[in-house]
Amino acid sequence: MPPRSSHAAHARLLDEVGSVDQVGIEERVAKFTTRSVKKEAKIWGLKTALSMTDLTTLEGKDTPGKIESLCRKAIHPHEGLVTPTVAAVCVYPSMVRHAKAGVGASGVKVASVATAFPSGQTHLKTRLAEVRGAVADGADEIDMVINRGAFLAGDFAQMEDEISEVLEACGAATLKVILEVSELETFDNIRKASFIAMGVLRPGDFIKTSTGKTTLNATLANNQVMIEAIRDFYLDTGIAIGMKPAGGIKTAKQSLHFLIAVKETLGDAWLNKKRYRFGASSLLNDLLRQLEKERTGAYQAPYSFSDASESY
């Protein structure tokens, strides 16, 4: 039955995927923050978070030089510390070429935001052309934004169609679908939008909280709503979708809280960069600072880490 109204469409979808209680979800995630992760477990968590980081710069003032420096940091996060590389660098489409050259054969992926990031407010063919351009320049991963207007209007078919067209334009590149949770406003909507996106995606693609360009980005609560949706979808269909919280995760401690949420909700199979990413910039230096503290027993001055967070 076609939707008679946006309300009917939303009501039907909510009935299908189930609702989320705000008080309950916030109570649940508060428990993750009381977990105490020490010693070896802490080092494992910090290194894992580091290996999941999509080191990001999305600024009008980005230059090829800045991207080169970002790539070096991505490959060699800190002198004298044995760490994995980060998962990917995440840049604007015009910077993909430079990033591709910068990461070389290091194994660090190049992710590009596309589809008129962050608003998505341009013609579909323009958005698709942007995706094709980024892929042609060598992007391994595409971070797209959903059509929030279509979603809020209850036009889910349009939202799905657009995601599938972007998916087609991606070719072999991994797709991450940004829901922009702050514009969806309710946890119910975040859950609904997660299911719509997952219904289109391939195994190994991601759903992602936000662009980092609005006031409210990744929180433990909206992360929880999305990973519970991923879990339910996986148990129903067998299709494993990845998750990427982005924006607002600045400290190592926060990232451990997110990983604890993953451990206790999705389980061990999601505790790797193929299925979980952090979209972050300043997080990396705090992870390094904590790892150095574990190694040396003392906190190092902020300036001893390259590209101190403010510059990202």
Partner 1 sequence: MATPNKNAAPGRGLIFGDLWEFDPAPETADPRLKARYDLFIGGAFVRPRSGRTFDTINPATEGKLAEISLAGAADVDLAYRAAARAFPSWSALHGRERGKYLFRIARLLQDRAREFAVAETLDGGKPIKESRDFDVPMAAAHFFYHAGWADKLEYVAPGRRVAPLGVVGQVIPWNFPLLMLAWKLAPALAMGNCVVLKPAETTSITAMKLCEILQDAELPPGVVNIVTGAGETGAAVMGHPLAAKVAFTGSTEVGKAIMRQIAGTDKKMTMELGGKAANIIFDDAPIDQAVEGIVNAIFFNQGHVCCAGSRLLVQESVADRVVAKLKSRIRVLRVGDPLDKNTDLGAINSREQLATIRRLVASGVREGAALYQSPCVLPQKGFFFPPSLFTGVTQSHRIAREEIFGPVLSILTFRTVDEAVEKANNTAYGLSAGVWTDKGSRILKMSTELKAGVVWANTFNRFDPSSPFGGYKESGFGREGGRQGLLDYASTT
| Minimum distance from residue 264 beta carbon to partner 1 (Å) | 4
Point out the catalytic residue in the list 54, 140, 143, 188: 143
Helix (H, G, I), strand (E, B) or coil at 145: strand
DSSP 59-98: -TT--HHHHHHHHHHHHS-STT---PPPSEEEE-GGGHHH
143 in active site: yes
Nearer to partner 1, 24 or 171 (CB): 24
Structure tokens at 51: 């290996």
Instruction: Kindly name the residue from 208, 273, 286, 307 that is annotated as catalytic.
Output: 208
Residue 214 one-letter amino acid = T
Residue number with CB closer to partner 1 (51 or 147) = 51
CA distance 207 to 194: 7
CA 284/CA 71 separation, integer angstroms: 13
Q: Which is nearer to partner 1, 145 or 225 (CB)?
A: 225
Note the residues at the interface with partner 1 (CB under 8 A): 18-21, 23-25, 27-28, 34-42, 44-45, 48, 228, 231, 234-235, 238, 259, 263-264, 266-269, 271
Closer of 79 and 268 to partner 1 (Cβ): 268
Two structure tokens written together for 188: 């119910």
CA-to-CA distance for 161 and 148, rounded, in angstroms? 13
100 among known catalytic residues: no
Does 208 participate in catalysis according to the annotation?
yes
The vertex-270 CA angle with 267 and 272, nearest 5°, equals 130
Token pair, residue 119, equals: 């608003």
CB of 87 to partner 1, least distance (A): 17
Catalytic residue of the set 54, 244, 273, 286: 244
Q: Show which residues are catalytic.
A: 143, 208, 244
